[in-house]
Structures are given as structure tokens and as C-alpha cells.
Structure 1
């Protein structure tokens, strides 16, 4: 009865429906392809709800702390311990937190087609751990100042810390907040440090806020409240300074599903329903490339860019189709042209840099059957003129030029128009 009465008196129920709406809007904007049925992506997709859940939890915690602070002496004459009183007081916030996480899980399941699994549970844990840290921050501020001031202050601060660094040029700042843009691919999985670093920083904020509540009794604690978050921020910066704008990943350890011959197409298990269609779509462009003097691959593989490409194997660049959109054969053929560059480089004993848009890839795309007018719009005039000069050469010289250009990898340092 006490818990039910606490829930009815709380501000948490009033925020449930608005928060659910924004959770839906944030997550619905994150997925644009057909369901991948990739369990890791399902778990990580829930983190798109973090800029909603964490500020809401922090703001409600500040409001509830202020409401219970007004009880004054009634807390001191209660027969229950301080810990029991705290648990009961914070229960509405925790219930709101759990309901919002449940909603995020259901939305992720609907978008991806499966429940979280594997490394995706890190993403779900992230949705528990980070808002709990901000709950402590919000509760501490609610103890120190009026709830009408503490609640909006901590909610806005939390949202700004999570969202605004993604618009800044300092790449390292975005990795400390905890809002992780994007998800793991079927070939590469996020490193666990993507989660643990913002957990460390948020724990520093929570500890500093807790220390502030004891400043009246021990003024020297204010120094600790200042030093702890500063140390966590600089420590976090040291850990993420070499990440750049991307999250660190490692190749996914999974057995590929292979189908067909000449070439054999190998894809991650989530793409197995598309493997035969990819094999059929690749046959005609590959025959045109082979007729132009480019050795055909034995295997086409969707694999991590970090894995070394062996001679005779081409990396296959393909992603799920967009919702409501059909297959784009021109795009698939253009990607096969990029694969041809990487395959030719591997045949020459060179590692392809993976930068698209090379002159060799443009030539291969035209040979493979990409619409000439469509391709021309994506190439600067000097590059297009140079490409037309190459296409006037005898077939054998064009093939030799392609092989040499792919092996030189000059496009990694220069554009197609250079």
C-alpha cells in the first residue's frame, strides 16, 4: 500500500507517455532497412533511447528527492531504516526506468526481427547502467536545491552531455557521454570499451554529486566533488584519444554461409536468405569484367575490412535494401567494380585501402554495365575525360591499366579527378 501510494503521489506516471513517444521517435529514425535478424544490432539499437531515458530518469529522481526532502522530521521518526526509506522513495523512478527499457526492447525487436543476443546485451546493460548513474546525480541535486530547479537543470544537463558532443569537432568528447551512434555490422562488433568508458565517467559524476550532499557537514568534500569528475574526464580522454569519430570494433567470429559456384558467394548467417540472389545478380557483371580481361574471382565474401583478402577472393560490398525499396542493380554492379579493385590488388600482393571512387573502379563499373550517364554525374570533369581516354585504348591495354592502377592504390591519396 505504501509503495502504491508513493507511485500515485509521484511525478513519474505523468512522464511515462511523453517519454514513450520520444523513445519511439528516436528509435524509429535509426533503422531504414528491412529487418536484419541480427541479435547484436537488436541490443545496440535500444541505446538510441538513451537520450530520452537518462534525462527523464535524472529529472524525475531530482523531483522525487525534493518531494521527500519536504517530509522533514517525518523521515527521522519512521520505524524503517534509512536504506529502506530510500528504496521506497526511489521506487517510482526505477519503475519508470524499467518500463522505458522494456519499450525500447520491444521496439528493437520489431525493427530488427529478433530479441537481443550475444554482444548486444552490452547495449541493453548500457541502458540500465548509464541512467542509474544519472539517477544518483539527479537525486543528489534534488536533495540540495528546490525540486522545481533541480529537475529541469539535471534533465537538460544530462541531455546536453549525451547529445551535443556529436555536433562538436572534438571527436573524443562524444565517446565520454555514452550516446553511441550507429550499431555493429554483421562483420564487425563494437569493443566493450565503448560502454565501459562512459560508465566510468558517469560514475565519477554520480560520486561527485553524492559528495556534494555532505558539504554542509564537511566543507572539504567540495574539493573531492570537483576533482573526481575532472579526473574521470581526463582519464576517459586518454582512453579514447585515438578513436577518432568512429567506435573501435573487432572482426566478428562467425561461420559464413556459402552458396553457388564460379563464384561461390559467402555471407554472414543473417544474410543467408539473400545469398542465392546475390550469386545470380553477380554472374552477368562478372562475365563482362572477365571478357574485358579481369580474372574472375573464385569466391565473393562479405567479411570484415580488417581481414586480409586472399588472391582469388573478392570482398563483396552489399547491405540490406531500404524499407519499401527494390534492388538497385546499378548500385550492386558498382559495388562489384569496387570488389574488382580490391581483388586485383590482392592478386598483386597489395592490401586495398578500401577507399571507394577510384579511377579503376569507375572503369570497371562501366565495363560491368553501370549506366554511363548515372556514373558520369558522380565523377568530376577531369576524371571523366581521363576515363574516356583510357576507354579508347585497345582492350589489352585497358586491362593492363586497370591491373596497374588497382595495384598502385594511388586513389587512396588522390581523387578520381586528379
Structure 2
């Protein structure tokens, strides 16, 4: 069949007129989820649009199957096999699906343009495989159900399979449809191999089951037995692969890709951050000097997780490295009084490191910022005493913080009484 004829009789170009604008409308709705400058994140987030592409190609596959069935070409003595007939009818749908996958990547590509690397071939390959799988299953549905039911059944079934697992509390099920890669990736992460393999196995099983159903005869005994068995085996295999992941779709990125300097603090940067290396190093060094002048000892190294961090982010990152990320174990069984000190201490550390006061004021409640500013106005020794006294409450539950700056400027006897 000539391309012009195929495009004229196929439903895919008409569906494309609806699908492409729909995908374009989502361009601005996913940008906040993408790690700017990181191609792995751009490609992973593009798979969100599979939730619309897959139902569209499934509907097209069903329509083409209904058209083939109505032509009765498979009931006659065909010169071509059932597989050849199906491929010939589905070529425009495959083209629509492939273009939609590439368009999804292109929509988000400007957020990583000019940075090292490129789109992830593995993620794009998985997306194309999912498109083929939904097209094949849609075609099998079209050969089976009456024409009036085939298209809506294929489209709705595809949409449910792509959308519903994300609402399930059995988290690993989300990995099976290829739609969960949107959980990836921060700058220090890459797509987990298991999160690619699990949906790939299911997609291959879908294609194989649809092919068996098509070539063996829709309701023949071999098809009735073999197609469900193949699909079930693929789902089980995918589940075995996906189960250790839970809902996560990312694994840590190899630290061998980082470049570490010899400054203090030692700063390790990913390839995407190298153009900002001079600024990051200067800001971190200045923040360390300010914290050291306040009597604080900072970590020997830091890792920045933004491709193009601001001065405020770098200074705050170094300052907040002095605040534990986790609550103390005792908080699981009893009240943790030190929680009340986390905000004021964090605000004071950020301001001491030279972070923008306006940014700090927007990050913490007004009362916590007020306390931090009062501490900042106190003598340096009083500030350090205030920090050391309240920082002790971060790792224990038997001591309450004392956030009043005036208590640390009192006479020695009064100060001892407070302690």
C-alpha cells in the first residue's frame, strides 16, 4: 500500500490532529518537575505524556482492526499472512506513536539544551515499546469486539492501565506500565534499570499475546490458552523485577562522574554544573569563612544538587549542613522539644553564612526569623552560646531549647542558672 493511500484510509492522521495539540498544551505544566539542565530528567518526565499517547494509539489500532475485519481479507485465501496484514494497516499508527514520543521529548528539551549529554536512548526506547504494545493490544481488541465497542474499549482500557496503578497503594505496580519514570530524576540520580526492565517485559508480553491472538485465531483453543498465559508470565516477570523498587524509579548516579576541587570546603560538581563552578566555589568559600568567624566548624565537603544554583542556595546549603536531616530516634516514642529550635537555628545559620535576608524571611515563619535576627545582633560569643545550647536539643528528647537571646547576654551566674 502506498504511503499516500495508507494515510488517506488510516484513522491515525485524524487522531493525530487531536493528540498533537493536546500534547502541546502540556508543555508548561511539567516544567516545574524537571531538573533544569539534566537530560535524564527531561527524558524521564516526557514519559508522562504516554498517558495520552498510549490510549490514542490503542484506539487507532482497534479502528484499523475493525476495518481489516470488515474487509474480510483474513477470511479469504490471503497472499499475505495475518502478521503482514496487521503491520501494513498499523504503520501510520506506529508513525503517530513514534512522533508523539519524540514530540514529548522535544517539548521539554529546551530545559536541558546547551548542557552536556542528550536524551536517554533507553527511556525513549521504552516509550516506543509501550506505544507498540498498546497499538498491538488495540488491534487484537478490534479483531475481537463489535466495531461499535472495539475503539472505546481499547482507548478506555489503555487509559485505565496507564493511569490507575499510580493510585494504588501497592507501589511496585506503578512500575509495570512505563508511566512511573516521572519519579526520576534529581541531578544525583539516574533511571533505575529495574524501572526500565519491568515495563519492558510487560510490554513485550502484551505484544506477544496480541500477536498470538491475531495469528492463531481469536477464539481458537491455542489462542485462548496461550495468549493469556504469555501475558500473565510477562506480568509476573515484571512484578518480580519491580517489587524491590517500591514507587521509586531512580537510583544514585555514579559519583565517578563528579569533579572535586581542592578548596575548603571541598566541592564536588556534576558535569552539568561545571559552567557554574567558579561561582559555586566562591560562594561556598565565603560562606565557610563567615561561619568560621562565628566559631562554627563546617563539613569538609558539600555537594550541590542544582545545576545552576543561586548564591543564596549555596550559602544556605553549607549553613544548613550543621542541622541534622533526621529526627532523633527518641522522637518515635516521646515528644521532641528540640523541634521548636530547628527553624530559628536554621534561619540564624543562613543569615550568618550571608544568605539573602529576604529569601530567609520567605523561607521561615516570621517569629523564627525575628528570633534569628535578634541573635544576630547579639555579641559573637552570645550567638555561639545560643547556637550550642539549642543545637544540643536536636539529638535528644530530654532537654528543651532556650531560644531567648537575652538569656545568653546575662551575667555568668544567671547564665549558669538557665543551663
Decide: shared fold, TM above 0.5: yes
1:368 to 331, 341, 353: 353
Q: Report the Cα distance in structure 1 between the residues aligned to 2:301 and 2:186, rounded to whole angstroms.
A: 21
Any conservation in 2 of the 1:58–1:154 contact (CA below 8 Å)? Answer: yes
- Structure 1 runs (4+) deviating above 6 angstroms are 383-393
Indicate the residue corresponding to 1:309 in structure 2: none
Matched, 1:242 2:227: no
Any conservation in 1 of the 2:312–2:359 contact (CA below 8 Å)? Answer: no
Matched, 1:335 2:311: no
Query: 2:190 is paired with a residue of what secondary structure?
Result: strand
Q: Report the Cα distance in structure 1 between the residues aligned to 2:52 and 2:207, rounded to whole angstroms.
A: 19
Any conservation in 2 of the 1:41–1:116 contact (CA below 8 Å)? Answer: no
Q: Report the Cα distance in structure 2 between the residues aligned to 1:143 and 1:387, rounded to whole angstroms.
A: 70
Any conservation in 1 of the 2:35–2:186 contact (CA below 8 Å)? Answer: no
Deviates more, 1:42-51 or 1:123-132: 42-51
Deviates more, 1:367-376 or 1:43-52: 367-376
Q: Report the Cα distance in structure 1 between the residues aligned to 2:289 and 2:130, rounded to whole angstroms.
A: 53
Q: After superposition, where does 1:187-266 map in structure 2 within 5 Å?
A: 187-213=188-214, 214=216, 218-219=220-221, 221-257=223-259, 261-266=263-268
- Shift of the 47–285 alpha-carbon distance from structure 1 to 2, 3 Å rule, reads same
Q: Report the Cα distance in structure 2 between the residues aligned to 1:222 and 1:71, rounded to whole angstroms.
A: 24
Query: 2:252 is paired with a residue of what secondary structure?
Result: strand
Q: Report the Cα distance in structure 2 between the residues aligned to 1:397 and 1:153, rounded to whole angstroms.
A: 69
Any conservation in 2 of the 1:259–1:266 contact (CA below 8 Å)? Answer: yes
User: Following TM superposition, by how much is the alpha carbon of 1:58 offset from its aligned partner in structure 2, in angstroms?
Assistant: 1.3
Unaligned runs of 5+ in 1: 298-311, 322-326, 344-356, 412-416
Length-normalised TM-score, structure 2: 0.74
- Shift of the 195–376 alpha-carbon distance from structure 1 to 2, 3 Å rule, reads closer
**Cα-Cα RMSD:** 4.1
Any conservation in 2 of the 1:141–1:150 contact (CA below 8 Å)? Answer: yes
Query: 1:245 is paired with a residue of what secondary structure?
Result: coil
Any conservation in 1 of the 2:261–2:268 contact (CA below 8 Å)? Answer: yes
Any conservation in 2 of the 1:122–1:192 contact (CA below 8 Å)? Answer: no
Indicate the residue corresponding to 1:278 in structure 2: 280
User: Following TM superposition, by how much is the alpha carbon of 1:74 offset from its aligned partner in structure 2, in angstroms?
Assistant: 7.5
Matched, 1:2 2:2: yes
User: Following TM superposition, by how much is the alpha carbon of 1:48 offset from its aligned partner in structure 2, in angstroms?
Assistant: 2.7
Unaligned runs of 5+ in 2: 326-340, 398-402, 404-419
Q: Report the Cα distance in structure 2 between the residues aligned to 1:75 and 1:122, rounded to whole angstroms.
A: 40
Length-normalised TM-score, structure 1: 0.74
Number of aligned positions between the proteins: 379
Indicate the residue corresponding to 1:184 in structure 2: 185
User: Following TM superposition, by how much is the alpha carbon of 1:136 offset from its aligned partner in structure 2, in angstroms?
Assistant: 1.3
Q: Report the Cα distance in structure 2 between the residues aligned to 1:12 and 1:34, rounded to whole angstroms.
A: 30
- Shift of the 289–83 alpha-carbon distance from structure 1 to 2, 3 Å rule, reads same
Deviates more, 1:387-396 or 1:5-14: 387-396
Q: After superposition, where does 1:24-35 map in structure 2 within 5 Å?
A: 24-32=24-32
User: Following TM superposition, by how much is the alpha carbon of 1:280 offset from its aligned partner in structure 2, in angstroms?
Assistant: 3.3
Q: Report the Cα distance in structure 2 between the residues aligned to 1:34 and 1:83, rounded to whole angstroms.
A: 40
Indicate the residue corresponding to 2:69 in structure 1: 69
User: Following TM superposition, by how much is the alpha carbon of 1:270 offset from its aligned partner in structure 2, in angstroms?
Assistant: 0.9
Q: After superposition, where does 1:404-415 map in structure 2 within 5 Å?
A: 408=395
Q: After superposition, where does 1:152-171 map in structure 2 within 5 Å?
A: 152-171=152-171
Indicate the residue corresponding to 1:289 in structure 2: 291
User: Following TM superposition, by how much is the alpha carbon of 1:251 offset from its aligned partner in structure 2, in angstroms?
Assistant: 2.3
Larger Cα-atom Rg: 2
Of Structure 1 and Structure 2, the greater helix share is in: 2
